[in-house]
A and B are shown apart, each in its own frame.
Chain A
Amino acid sequence: MSEPRHRLMGYVREEIMPHRFCSGCGCGTVLNAFTNAVEGIDLDPGRMVCVSGIGCSSWIPSPYFKSDTLHTTHGRPIAFATGVKMMRPDLTVVVIAGDGDVAGIGGNHLIHAARRNIDLSVFMVNNMIYGMTGGQVAPTTPAGVKTTTTPHRNVEPPFRVADLVVAAGAGYVARWTTYHAFPLMESMQNAMTRKGFSFIEIISQCPENYGRRIGLRRAIDFLKMFKEKAIRIEKTRDMSEEELKDRIIIGRLCDRDRPEFADEMHKLTAEQVAGLKASKEAAG
């Protein structure tokens, strides 16, 4: 009798399993939520392009998810994805990468893609640390934390990345944690089915290179912390900044229709081509 297989095994590149994530890493949860999201809305992976950068979470789609895959340079996946989307607006283009990649070195590409409202789904896994290189301070590391490059303490405030993307003009922005796997999955489905720039900040755990520096050695400790600190955005309306200081605001931060970049460009192309045809006909 053959081994029982996971029902979603057809969506991953089985030939390169097992995966390389550390024990307790949040990336597995994100891959799980993503694969379920794709299956749930019956997306054809053959018509998806997953683009990723450099860092642990870039390995979620690359190499594990079985679509066309473009594993790019550090911080640049959104720029590469822009080229893919402009030439093939009919494909679902997804970027999965980390906070260091998307908000650190690649922050400029992030805000401009949000401003253009190009139809990409960007899932930023925020583990608050540079994990792959061994635990250096990230633009998302909370102040006061000791890391290998802030051995005394981090004196910088962290980036509120999702809020930045809302301000930059994205169509859809949400924040979830790896504790909220089911709403995360649904949010991913929203992101991939709606038009425009969709951004989900996924607060995730890195027990190996972050947790051990802040006293959270086990994944379960992180998940408990996420559960305690998380607060739905709907409940925050009347709360002061002070009250929200240590909380993780989860849920849908914005959902609005704005003109989409690839659509607008292709509309313009169609106008120009039609104009040329008309003038050719007029010339006889």
Chain B
Amino acid sequence: MRKPRTKPAAASKYQPVRPFTEEEFSRVRRVLGQKVLFVQGDAAVSYGALLAGCRFFAGYPITPATETSEILSQLLPRVGGVCIQMEDEIASVGAIIGASRAGAKSMTATSGPGFSLMQENIGYAAMTETPCVIVDVQRSGPSTGQPTEGAQGDIMQAKWGSHGDYELIALSPSTVQECLDLTIDAFNLSEIYSVPVILLTDGIIGHMREKVVLPEFEEVELVWRKAPTRPKDEFQPFFDDGSKIPETATFGTGYHTYITGLTHSDTGYPATDSQPEHHRLVSRLCAKIRDNRDKIIKVQKDYQDGAEENTIGIVSYGVTSRSVNSAVKLLRREGLNIDHLRIITNWPFPEKEVAELAGRAGRIVIPELNLGQVYHSVREAAAGQCDIVPMWKTGGEMHTPDEIIRVVKGNG
């Protein structure tokens, strides 16, 4: 019998994913120039990606996310990476999944209409546990909607956009600095949990300029996916070592890895007619995120110590938090007791934190730039402990602090 050739070919200059050195990090910093910058949110996302070690970007032009493609097409080649424009958003996610399996940290960026197209392959990334980052610079929808206006209408789609049961992680920055910081977090979470991570910015932050301070090498923690620890002939791409997170064998390293979006066993091979295998697989995909919710979830609690009766809670996320911050200051000046919970991790949803706030507050006001999305999750988590007062606004304008103040005071 003829045996296939297995002797390694001449050493490749293309290496699988590996932690990068301080020298490489410095190269990125050099390419980015000054330490303190005054840039748009879309630019900060691009810089965060480069600092996190992203070396492949595939995208399709769409307002208000295009700047990320433009900036990365300028800068990625300078740090040894590749940036390509695909024929559509479906292909963009396909390409970043392919590149991720070939060993690169990879990312795409889009807005609502493109995000809708991406859902098919986001589900594939969740099912195949392929690390990748998808930036959604939200704009008003449905459909083409308001291309140049910001919105928060894709929060539910980020979690439920693809069919079937799965969990992923979604983060909402509220400042340009946070666009950079959370992009680095997004890559880390994606690599740790082998899951697609969605960064939910919006047209307002995406196009707004603010001061950004680039981190030093010692200040950032960069994480890289778990490499195989078992010998090649024993390696199984979806084996659960107890952590629920499989090790990743990069393509071209001799593991003959088998990856499919079909229901699969630990070997990766299809097990489409097995109820127990499917249940076990999908349960693990969800559990690896749900069981680690305390490690994943980030919120910012701006609570008043010793506040007694009459505490009013406000839950906010993303760009809306900016108006809430101003409103909270003004309300406290008037002597009101305000607890502000800012959600940074939209998915998995910070249920415990919201429940805790619902226990402290007489009611919770939740302003968002849609007609009720996070409202439903807040109401579910509050479980009837207090009233939930929604503040819905669409059309591309933020809530003004005044509008929030009126509702908090009950004069809305």
A residues adjacent to B (C-beta < 8 A): 5-11, 13, 15-16, 38-39, 42-47, 49, 51, 62-63, 66-73, 76, 79-91, 108-109, 112, 265-266, 268-269, 271-273, 275-276, 280
- A76 and B1 contacting across the interface, CB-CB below 8 Å: no
Cβ 8 A contact of A112, one of B12, B87, B104, B106: B87
A43 and B9 alpha carbons, distance in the complex (Å): 10
- B9 and A47 contacting across the interface, CB-CB below 8 Å: yes
- A80 and B6 contacting across the interface, CB-CB below 8 Å: no
Q: A residues within 8 A CB of B6?
A: 44, 46
- B4 and A269 contacting across the interface, CB-CB below 8 Å: no
Chain A proximity of B160: nearest CB distance (Å)? 18
- A87 and B9 contacting across the interface, CB-CB below 8 Å: no
- A79 and B95 contacting across the interface, CB-CB below 8 Å: yes
Q: A residues within 8 A CB of B161?
A: none
Q: B residues within 8 A CB of A7?
A: 1-2
Chain A proximity of B195: nearest CB distance (Å)? 17
Chain B proximity of A56: nearest CB distance (Å)? 14
Is B327 part of the contact surface with A, judged by Cβ < 8 Å? no
Q: Mark B87-101, 1 if CB is under 8 A from A, else 0.
A: 110111011111111
Total number of residue pairs linking A and B with CB closer than 8 Å: 185
- B252 and A76 contacting across the interface, CB-CB below 8 Å: no
Cβ 8 A contact of A87, one of B56, B78, B86, B256: B56
Chain A proximity of B11: nearest CB distance (Å)? 10
Is B217 part of the contact surface with A, judged by Cβ < 8 Å? no
- B98 and A82 contacting across the interface, CB-CB below 8 Å: yes
Q: B residues within 8 A CB of A72?
A: 94, 97, 124, 261
Is B120 part of the contact surface with A, judged by Cβ < 8 Å? yes
Is B251 part of the contact surface with A, judged by Cβ < 8 Å? yes
- B269 and A83 contacting across the interface, CB-CB below 8 Å: no
Cβ 8 A contact of A68, one of B1, B12, B257: B257
Interface majority SS on A: helix, strand, loop or mixed? helix
Chain B proximity of A275: nearest CB distance (Å)? 8
A57 and B323 alpha carbons, distance in the complex (Å): 55
Chain B proximity of A214: nearest CB distance (Å)? 30
A8 and B56 alpha carbons, distance in the complex (Å): 36
On whether A81 and B98 interact (CB within 8 A), knowing A73-B120, A112-B87, the answer reads: yes
- A84 and B251 contacting across the interface, CB-CB below 8 Å: yes
Chain B proximity of A57: nearest CB distance (Å)? 15
Is B31 part of the contact surface with A, judged by Cβ < 8 Å? yes
B residues 12-56 near A (Cβ < 8 Å) are 12-14, 27, 30-31, 55-56
Q: A residues within 8 A CB of B27?
A: 276
A181 and B361 alpha carbons, distance in the complex (Å): 75
- A88 and B103 contacting across the interface, CB-CB below 8 Å: yes
Is B58 part of the contact surface with A, judged by Cβ < 8 Å? yes
B residues 191-215 near A (Cβ < 8 Å) are none
Cβ 8 A contact of A83, one of B30, B90, B98: B98
Chain B proximity of A257: nearest CB distance (Å)? 22
B residues 342-369 near A (Cβ < 8 Å) are none
Chain A proximity of B8: nearest CB distance (Å)? 8
Chain A proximity of B375: nearest CB distance (Å)? 33
On whether A90 and B12 interact (CB within 8 A), knowing A8-B2, A10-B2, the answer reads: yes
Q: B residues within 8 A CB of A86?
A: 56, 82, 84, 95, 98-99, 102
- A69 and B257 contacting across the interface, CB-CB below 8 Å: yes
Is B259 part of the contact surface with A, judged by Cβ < 8 Å? yes
Q: B residues within 8 A CB of A87?
A: 14, 55-56, 82, 98-99, 102-104
Cβ 8 A contact of A108, one of B4, B87, B255, B258: B87
Pick 22 A–B contacts, CB within 8 A, sort by A: A8-B2, A13-B258, A16-B269, A44-B6, A49-B252, A51-B98, A62-B258, A66-B4, A68-B251, A68-B255, A69-B256, A69-B260, A72-B124, A76-B90, A81-B98, A82-B95, A84-B98, A86-B102, A87-B56, A90-B9, A91-B251, A109-B87
Closest 9 CB pairs of A and B: A83-B98, A79-B94, A83-B95, A79-B91, A83-B99, A71-B260, A87-B102, A272-B77, A80-B98
